[in-house]
A and B are shown apart, each in its own frame.
Chain A
Amino acid sequence: MPLPKRDLPDFDAPPVVETLLGVQFSSTKQFPTRLYTEYWQRIMSRFPSLELQGPLPAVTEEFGRPQALAFGIQFIQGDESRYWYIDETETRLLQVQKDRFIHNWRRVKDEPYPHYDDIRPRFEKEWLEFCSFLKDEGYDKPAVNQCEVTYVNHIEPGTDGTEVGDLGKVISCWSGSYSGQFLRQPETVTFNVRYLIPENRGRLHIIGQPVIRKRDAKQVFQLNLTARGKPNSSELQDILEWLDLGHRWIVNGFTDFTTPEMHRAWKRKEGL
């Protein structure tokens, strides 16, 4: 499937520090530990490091009915771990667990942000190889029930011309003004906003919170945009179609949600 036309807002120096493209799926068979280690053998030349993490819980965007509660005791067979396969540069990661496949890119130093045009083909290649591996191992094709695109942005106070509590300069819908004179600038701000993607195709979540970045101990404001929803089918073209939709919502959402002043600081390109 061809990449979408480059008609979205674009920045020369965006605050993106991480991108994530992933799918959630169900499988008719358990994933034993052997499966993860053999998959590693297959990709080891590109992802030579392995780490184990706790599993991510399943998350599904629901519409028109309350989220079902998974509450109780479950008996579990198979390996519940989340396997991290990390590349040599420590900028790319594959995360695999019994119902997830995620491709991450992250900024470690000052690497240029790879555009979606670069990230999507990498995800596509790795997902196809994973499906091919599962097929070789006698597994059915994974039934994909959610696609996800996440962009993690770190807005650094000072360097981006802002203070952590000074959100009016960053967030376009945050006026920063009050009805009276009692309250002053907040010490911290956290928020969680979600938007419906029309025709119940999914949601865009925007989460903002002050954090301290571990790699350099810097205080930053983290702005995460996550688009998630169900593709029309588990076919590759439908997965890519949904990822393109999610990416479009993230880029347009980020641009709408942030101020023109910050767009200038992030060097928004003319005409886009």
Chain B
Amino acid sequence: MTGLSNTATMSFRYVEPPAGAGRDAAQGQWSEVIDWPWGARQIPLVQRLLTLENLPKDWDSYGSQPPSKAAIAMGFTLLKGLDDGGLENLTMPRINPVSGGGILLEWESGQRELELEVLSDGDVRYLKIEGGEPVQEDTVTHPMFSQMRGLLLWLMP
């Protein structure tokens, strides 16, 4: 067994005040679920992300891995953020897997298109297109939703 030390570890941690016993009632649940208290419009996309997460290895016949946990997690962050103030009227993106363990989210709004490619490490490569022509592209490392929000607002008229 690798990665497991036989020596006792010592560490310190910040201890959170306990939540109520009721909130913690089902603590040891094994069946994995996603708590989804937001709008119904995101649910098909959540289901899409879960489907992508369960893709088999070599799903593209070129030996690619399924989307990584980091890429899927960033996908969830982006979907959650779409309920933020100012983004409610944004259309929902198309979501597809990309080789190398990432996912691609694509929006269209009039003449503008935005592609966010979430890489396997969770970083985001974006491309803005206007009138069919690329106008800006870059990579955001360790992205915060506030940065993504700025890109999404560009789509709004």
Contact = CB atoms under 8 A, between A and B. Distances in A.
A228 interface: yes
A172 to B, nearest CB: 20
A60 interface: yes
A20 B28 contact: yes
B62 interface: no
Given A59-B21, A203-B21, A106 B30 contact: yes
A190 interface: yes
B89 interface: no
B84 interface: no
B35 interface: yes
B43 A150 contact: no
A75 B9 contact: no
Interface in A186-211: 187-188, 190, 192, 194, 203, 205, 207, 209-211
A4 interface: no
Contacts of B29: 18, 20, 150, 152, 224
Interface residues of B, number: 43
Given A34-B6, A212-B43, A76 B18 contact: no
A74 B27 contact: no
Interface string B91-119: 00000000000000000000000000000
Contact of B24 (A17, A59, A212): A59
Interface stretch (B46-54, B127-135, B139-147, B148-156): B46-54
Interface string A213-230: 111010110101010100
A77 B37 contact: no
Contact of A70 (B15, B25, B34, B35): B15
B78 to A, nearest CB: 16
Interface in B1-50: 1, 4-37, 39-40, 43, 46-47, 50
A57 B30 contact: no
Main SS at interface, chain B: loop
Contacts of A194: 21-22
Interface in A38-89: 50, 56-62, 67, 69-80
A78 B27 CA distance: 22
A45 B8 CA distance: 26
A83 to B, nearest CB: 10
Interface of B: 1, 4-37, 39-40, 43, 46-47, 50-51, 53
Interface of A: 17-18, 20, 22, 30, 32-34, 37, 50, 56-62, 67, 69-80, 93, 95, 100, 102, 104, 106-107, 148, 150, 152, 154, 187-188, 190, 192, 194, 203, 205, 207, 209-215, 217, 219-220, 222, 224, 226, 228
Given A76-B12, A104-B28, A212-B46, 17 more contacts: A18-B29, A32-B7, A33-B6, A57-B16, A58-B18, A59-B21, A69-B17, A80-B11, A100-B28, A104-B30, A150-B25, A187-B39, A207-B26, A215-B31, A217-B46, A217-B50, A219-B43
